[in-house]
Amino acid sequence: MKEREGRGRVPVRTVGELPPAEELWRLTPKALLRALGLSARKGLSQSFLTDSYVVKDILAAAELAPEDEVLEVGPGLGVMTRELVKVVRRVVAVELDQKLAELLPTLVPAPERLEVVNADILEFDLASAFPGPYKVVANLPYHISSPLLRKLLTSEKKPTLLVIMVQKEVAERMVAKLGSTSLLSIMVQLYSRASLVREVPAAAFFPAPQVDSAVVKLEVYEQLPYGVDDPEAVLKVVAAGFSRRRKQIHNALSDSLWFPPGGVYEVLERAGIDPARRAQTLSLEEWATLYRTYQEARRGWQEKSE
């Protein structure tokens, strides 16, 4: 038996020293960690789901079919992976923890359907892993949920559907309605139809995190709404609007984007937006209109200056 350095020198079992897989599947995450000689790593936001009903709700929301391919991020002890491999053709599990990545194939009932990649998901090449369509089913590591969402939704090789667990606060921002939107909600809703599947209390994990969680379903659009053809350019205008969230929209925009004197009022008037409004009150359609109007106005200003 190997030993891992650190406080208390916790022993780590090698794959050959593990009990039979059938015995491991019956263990709770707490007991399984003990059997493996491991402990949760706070630096990787490791909290392992213990509630089987939550897993069932996630899988139901993902509408999985036998021909599906699935990306799972941070599979951990394989609580969800075990169920995924029973249903779909192929699961690609990206795990940053090397020890868990090594052990994962021994913790699932159909390892031939599982590909484990020991890597940082933010650096993972989605296109090479999935030549065809795929879905994302995952309990996202909370410390990277926002940048990971952006990577998945803006990637050239986007998933068709995401069913993901995130912090409850992040989930609420993702599905926010008019009056309480943010850059995150506009970004998510530009690329997908977002809906809340269910809330998940902290007690459903071991060790229990300090916050509650929620499961969100994102149905990725094949074609972006409102005629948007350059989403990243639209999001730059949105980011400018939210850069001074407490300010009126004309102040926020003029602080972050270039306008000639009086230009910001000209653009807002042509877009049909009251300059006294704030960013969180603008709909996705209004942001798309504002972007197009700003681009048209800029071309006109440049032509006049030539």
pTM listed for this prediction: 0.88
Q: Domain check: are 190 and 296 in the same one? A: no
290: its two tokens: 């504002």
Contacts of 239 (CB under 8 A, 6+ apart): 183, 256
Please state, in angstroms and rounded to a whole number, the distance separating the CA atoms of residues 244 and 157.
Answer: 33
Phi/psi of residue 6, nearest 5 degrees:
135, -175
Does position 13 have pLDDT exceeding 50, yes or no?
Answer: no
Specify whether 202 is located in the same domain as 269.
no
pLDDT of residue 18: 66
Mean pLDDT of the chain, nearest integer: 90
Let me know how long the chain is. Answer: 306
Backbone angles phi, psi at 297, to 5 degrees: -65, -40
Residues 50 and 116 in one domain: yes
71 and 173: one domain? yes
Can you read off the two tokens belonging to residue 254? 């003029």
* Tokens describing residue 63: 């509408």
State the burial class of residue 52 (Cβ atoms within 10 Å of its Cβ: 0-12, 13-18, 19+): exposed
Same domain, 195 and 146: yes
In this structure, what CATH number is given to the domain that contains residue 249? 1.10.8.100
**Residue type (1 letter), 130:** F
Last residue of a domain, one of 176, 200, 222: 222
Q: List, for residues 40-97, the tens digit of each pLDDT value.
A: 777 666 788 989 999 999 999 999 999 999 999 999 999 999 999 999 999 999 999 9
Is the same domain home to 116 and 31?
A: yes
What does the alpha-carbon distance between residue 62 and residue 49 come to, in Å, rounded to a whole number?
17
**Does 146 share its domain with 39?**
yes
Domain that holds residue 156: 2-222
**Location of structure tokens 């892993």:** 129
How sure is the predictor about 17, in pLDDT bands with cuts at 50, 70 and 90? Answer: low
Do 116 and 93 meet the contact criterion of CB atoms below 8 Å apart?
Answer: yes
Task: Determine contact, residues 62/163, Cβ cutoff 8 Å.
Answer: yes
Query: 169 and 268: one domain?
Result: no
**Closest listed residue to residue 238, CA positions, set 306, 150, 140, 138:** 150
189-199 tens-digit pLDDT: 999 999 999 99
Instruction: Give me the helices (H) in 16-125, please.
Output: 21-25, 29-36, 52-62, 81-87, 98-103
Looking at the structure of the chain, the number of domains it has is 2
